[in-house]
């Protein structure tokens, strides 16, 4: 491909709105262009990388017997109404009406379509297991896109779905995907850590996310460097030292003026924050006012709270709502909290003599004890893991790191197949719902992660497996010495006829521009043809990754380009 007519342009300056290296470099080097917030065009270079990433994924999916197909982007809303997600999913699902006034949606995922297909396709246990996948555009109207390709609204995802007769079958399909994903990210050059994760809105029994460690990551991971334990903070349960065993002391109200925060309160009373209990008020999606009680030195984990309450989501309660329930914000107490559903963290339930609000402006209670002073409606693990907490496996202090989720695998179970009546006839002659799993990899996000992991101050450094072209030929001094163009043209042709298209910078630009661009674009090999190289007996080959360069005889360069 000759750069003189290639659909791209490089930028000398960093785009002002790009902060992450991957965003900056992909825009500067002419791989992608932004159309709107979270909406990007892939220019030929970007599209080519994307296809190479897809090919790696395709090969590994095919290798485990997953069958490629394609499902639509536009769905009739009826399917989504049948599974209930038309109602449960919020504004992130784009909805519209067709000309006949029928509700339609833009696909944000494809469980519904798969389940409806299974209804038609699968009749007998003899057909199971089956696995399918496709690469398809998803649209999710995220409240906030960010980081270039890291979080976008429209993107291509490889999503696969496994269909099994029972849980044991699902376990096997899940394991196949786990192994395939490990190979995929290894081949793509994206180091990932599989972490146990929340099943979220997808429902289901088990899930892992494949995380790429990056400071810009939106997830917090809890990692143990000693034993390798890893989990998303949303679900991680770490060990915290047991509260001291004490005899319950008499409840005592104390005046604590101006201590609406835990830090103020602990300082005022001269006790550690871990001897206090704090109350957080939330309202669930189904309208319940809930107060969650955790220790003063810990934070409520929203995911855990949602799961404990068996709801779909929650929001902070307004002070008015708290007052309406008869409580005093800042001094609220689980003692006598009649107007709210009281959820207490397990650690609170095991602790004696904690300081808590007195439900009276400017007052707190000393020596509150669960069971004696109040009876919670629910006791559950509610807190977020903290750096230095004990690893749940080995007890060593855990560390917290940010990560970008590039892939996820879910054991869905029968939620969708039951809702849509996708059943098979078992060996026992009875109908059973098909057991599903679903598995996703964001292609564009994977591309961005590859760049995050493979770049230097000069530009992108593509791993050979995903590079848009294996090599980048640069001609220098072609107008001075006709042999330069002859040799460079011949190398370009030769690679092409060997089935390996390479980039060929035949532009009439200065050497500096061409070499700088070559490094910015990031092909694994840069082949420089110039009067100087010809005089030295061939062409200069630069390995982009190491910067190592050497003049090689043309025959050797030809062999390199042929592959």
Partner RNA sequence: CGGGGCGUGGCGCAACGGUGGCGCACGUGCUUUGGGAGCACGAGGAUGUGGGUUCGAAUCCCACCGCCCCGACCA
Contacting residues toward RNA, per CB under 7 A: 10-17, 19, 34, 36-38, 92, 108-109, 138, 140, 142-147, 151, 157, 159, 197, 200-202, 209, 216, 218-219, 302, 313, 315, 405, 408, 440, 458, 476-477, 479-480, 508, 510-513, 515-517, 519-520, 528-533, 540, 542, 549
Taking the least distance from each CB to RNA, the nearer of 370 and 476 is 476
Nearer to RNA, 440 or 444 (CB): 440
Query: Rounded to whole angstroms, how far apart are CA atoms 437 and 130?
Result: 11
Q: Nearer Cβ to RNA, position 420 or 539? A: 539
CB of 287 to RNA, least distance (A): 16
The answer to whether the CB of 205 falls within 8 A of the CB of 414 is: no
Residue 355 three-state SS: strand
Query: Cα 493 to the chain's mean position, in Å?
Result: 42
Nearer to RNA, 329 or 397 (CB): 329
Q: For the CB of residue 517, give the shortest distance to RNA in the complex, in Å.
A: 5
Q: What is the helix (H) or strand (E) element at residue 535, kind and residue range?
A: helix 531-535
SS (H, E, C) 39-79: EEEECHHHHHHHHHHHHHHHHHHHHCCCEECCCCCEEEHHH
Q: How many residues does the chain have?
A: 563
Q: 353 vs 533, which CB is nearer to RNA?
A: 533
Q: Which of 60/159 has CB closer to RNA? A: 159
Q: Which is nearer to RNA, 105 or 356 (CB)?
A: 105
Crossing angle of the two packed helices 44-63 and 167-188, in degrees rounded to 10 = 140
Q: Give the position of tokens 């869905």.
A: 412
What whole-number distance in Å separates Cα of residue 57 and Cα of residue 466? 11
Angle, helices 443-453/44-63, rounded to nearest 10 degrees: 110
Minimum distance from residue 440 beta carbon to RNA (Å): 5
Q: How far is the CB of 288 from RNA (least distance, A)?
A: 16
Which residue, 21 or 368, has its beta carbon nearer to RNA?
Answer: 21
Smallest gap from residue 168 Cβ to RNA (A): 24
Torsion of CA 503, 509, 510, 511, to 10 degrees: 10
* Least CB distance to RNA at residue 23 (A): 7
DSSP secondary structure letter of residue 300: B
Rounded Cα gap, residues 394 and 239, in angstroms = 10
Q: Which is nearer to RNA, 34 or 368 (CB)?
A: 34
SS3 category, 489: helix
| Least distance to RNA, CB of residue 144, Å | 3
**Rounded distance between C-alpha atoms, residue 519 and residue 512, angstroms:** 11
Asked whether the bond before 129 is cis by omega within 30 degrees of 0, the reply is yes
Smallest distance from RNA to CB 336, Å: 28
Give min distance, CB of 438 to RNA, in A.
8
Closer to RNA by CB, 53 or 328: give it. 53
Q: How far is the CB of 293 from RNA (least distance, A)?
A: 18
Rounded-to-integer distance, Cα 322 and Cα 56, Å: 54
Contact 291, 332 (CB under 8 A): yes
- Phi and psi torsions of 359, nearest 5°: 60, 35
User: From CA 149, how far away is CA 445, in angstroms rounded?
Assistant: 6
- Of 359 and 528, nearer to RNA (C-beta) is 528
Cβ proximity to RNA, 72 vs 336, nearer residue: 72
Residue 28, SS3? helix
Determine the angle formed by the axes of helices 21-28 and 443-453, rounding to 10 degrees: 100
How far is the C-alpha of 149 from the C-alpha of 71, rounded, in Å?
23
Nearest distance, CB of residue 421 and RNA, angstroms: 22
Nearer to RNA, 170 or 335 (CB): 170
Among 151, 536, 227, CA closest to 392: 227
What six digits make up the tokens of 62? Answer: 């095919």
Using DSSP bridges, classify how beta strands 95-97 and 103-106 pair: parallel, antiparallel or unpaired: antiparallel
Question: By 3-state DSSP, what share of the chain in percent is helix, strand and coil, each rounded to 5?
Answer: 30, 30, 40
Q: Considering the complex, what minimum distance in angstroms separates the CB of residue 528 from RNA? A: 4
Least distance CB 508 / RNA (angstroms):
7
Closest to RNA by CB, 350 vs 549, is 549
Beta carbons of 560 and 498 less than 8 angstroms apart: no
Rounded distance, CA 206 to CA 185, Å? 21
Distance CA 112, CA 95 (A): 15
> Least CB distance from residue 266 to RNA, whole Å?
23
């Amino acid at each position: 491909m000759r750069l003189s007519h290639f659909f791209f342009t490089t930028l000398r300056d960093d785009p002002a709105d790009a902060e992450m290296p991957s965003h900056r470099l992909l825009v500067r080097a002419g791989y992608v262009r932004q159309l709107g917030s979270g909406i990007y065009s892939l220019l030929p270079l970007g599209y080519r990388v994307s296809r190479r990433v897809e090919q790696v994924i395709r090969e590994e999916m095919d290798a485990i017997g997953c069958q490629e197909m394609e499902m639509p982007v536009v769905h009739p809303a009826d399917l989504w109404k049948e599974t209930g997600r038309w109602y449960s999913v919020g504004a992130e699902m784009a909805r519209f009406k067709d000309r006949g006034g029928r509700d339609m949606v833009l696909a944000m995922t494809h469980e519904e379509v798969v389940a409806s297909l299974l209804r038609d396709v699968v009749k007998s246990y003899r057909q199971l297991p089956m696995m399918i996948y496709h690469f398809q555009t998803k649209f999710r109207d995220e409240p906030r896109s960010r980081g270039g390709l890291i979080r976008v609204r429209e993107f291509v995802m490889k999503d696969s779905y496994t269909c099994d007769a029972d849980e044991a079958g699902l376990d096997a399909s899940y394991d196949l995907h786990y192994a395939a994903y490990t190979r995929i990210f290894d081949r793509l050059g994206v180091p990932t850590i599989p972490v146990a994760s929340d099943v979220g809105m997808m429902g289901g029994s088990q899930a892992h996310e494949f995380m790429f460690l990056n400071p810009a990551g939106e997830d917090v991971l809890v990692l143990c460097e000693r034993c390798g334990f890893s989990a998303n903070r949303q679900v991680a349960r770490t060990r915290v030292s047991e509260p001291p065993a004490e005899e319950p002391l008499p409840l005592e109200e104390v005046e604590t003026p101006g201590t609406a925060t835990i830090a103020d309160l602990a300082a005022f009373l001269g006790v550690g924050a871990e001897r206090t209990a704090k109350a957080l008020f939330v309202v669930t999606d189904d309208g319940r006012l809930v107060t969650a009680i955790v220790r003063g030195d810990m934070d409520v984990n929203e995911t855990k709270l949602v799961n404990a309450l068996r709801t779909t989501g929650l929001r902070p309660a307004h002070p008015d709502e708290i007052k309406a329930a008869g409580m005093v914000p800042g001094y609220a107490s689980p003692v006598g909290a009649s107007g709210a559903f009281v959820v207490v963290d397990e650690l609170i339930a095991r602790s004696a003599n904690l300081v808590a609000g007195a439900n009276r402006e400017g007052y707190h209670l000393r020596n509150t004890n669960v069971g004696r002073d109040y009876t919670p409606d629910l006791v559950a693990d509610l807190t977020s893991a903290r750096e230095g907490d004990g690893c749940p496996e080995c007890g060593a202090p855990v560390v917290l790191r940010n990560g970008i989720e590039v892939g996820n695998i879910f054991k869905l179970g029968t939620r969708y197949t039951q809702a849509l009546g996708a059943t098979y006839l078992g060996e026992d002659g009875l109908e059973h719902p098909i057991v599903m799993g679903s598995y996703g990899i964001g292609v564009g996000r994977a591309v961005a992660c590859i760049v995050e992991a493979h770049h230097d101050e000069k530009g992108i450094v593509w791993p050979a497996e995903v590079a848009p072209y294996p090599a980048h030929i640069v001609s220098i001094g072609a107008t001075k010495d006709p042999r330069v163009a002859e040799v460079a043209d011949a190398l370009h042709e030769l690679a092409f006829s060997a089935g390996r298209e390479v980039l060929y910078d035949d532009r009439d630009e200065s050497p500096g521009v061409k070499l700088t661009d070559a490094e910015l674009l990031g092909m694994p090999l840069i082949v420089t043809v110039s009067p100087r190289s010809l005089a030295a007996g061939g062409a200069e080959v630069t390995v982009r990754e190491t910067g190592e360069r050497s003049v090689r005889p043309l025959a050797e360069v030809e062999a390199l380009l042929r592959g």
